[in-house]
């Protein structure tokens, strides 16, 4: 197992599902871990840095946007999906970068995406489009921050049984296929 003793990590959306599993794994590896939930009002990057006196690892996992046909998605629902999946990542990266650049070793920013970023899935159009934008933003973040000592990567979690996955129609067939 990787030794993350003396590392400080922040996981957004870390109270349940994939985020909670990531937070537990980081803690088992020795990191001090802070998590945020969807309705957190403070700046996540700043709050994490304030809690620990800096940051070494940031995982942008918070996601959502509703499961519905794209043709039935309102402008407000699309705005919400973009805000939660794309804008929140941009803000987190901007807030966390100065702390990650100062740490010992290379800081890490990890975005969590899904296969919906490149595959059409039923009732996943808004979220899938946002995940594609998230992946593009991650690539650009790597270009801009890599030479400053920060690794910026994206992980596609694959098919993981979570509460969100259970909301998709036909999920049993998808799980059986995988």
SS3 38: coil
Q: Which candidate in 7, 89, 108, 131 is catalytic?
A: 131
Measured distance CA(121)–CA(174) in Å, rounded: 10
Q: How far is CA 159 from the centre of its chain?
A: 15
Q: Which candidate in 7, 99, 108, 124 is catalytic?
A: 124
Known catalytic membership, residue 131? yes
Known catalytic membership, residue 102? no
Measured distance CA(42)–CA(9) in Å, rounded: 17
Burial category of 21 from C-beta neighbours within 10 Å (exposed 0-12, middle 13-18, buried 19 and up):
middle
Catalytic residues: 124, 131
């Amino acid at each position: 197992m990787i030794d993350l003793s003396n590392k400080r990590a922040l996981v957004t959306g870390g109270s349940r599902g994939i985020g909670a599993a990531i937070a537990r794994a980081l803690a088992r590896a020795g990191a001090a871990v802070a998590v945020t939930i969807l309705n957190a009002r403070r700046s996540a990057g700043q709050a994490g840095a304030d809690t620990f006196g800096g940051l070494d690892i940031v995982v942008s996992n918070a996601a959502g946007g509703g499961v519905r046909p794209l043709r039935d998605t309102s402008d407000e629902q699309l705005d919400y999906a973009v805000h939660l999946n794309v804008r929140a990542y941009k803000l987190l990266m901007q807030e966390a970068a100065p702390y990650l650049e100062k740490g010992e070793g290379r800081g890490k920013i990890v975005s969590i995406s899904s296969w919906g970023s490149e595959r059409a899935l039923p009732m996943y159009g808004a979220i899938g489009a946002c995940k594609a934008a998230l992946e593009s933003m991650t690539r650009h973040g790597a270009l801009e921050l890599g030479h400053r000592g920060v690794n910026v990567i994206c992980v596609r979690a694959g098919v993981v049984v979570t509460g969100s996955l259970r909301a998709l129609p036909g999920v049993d067939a998808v799980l059986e296929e995988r």
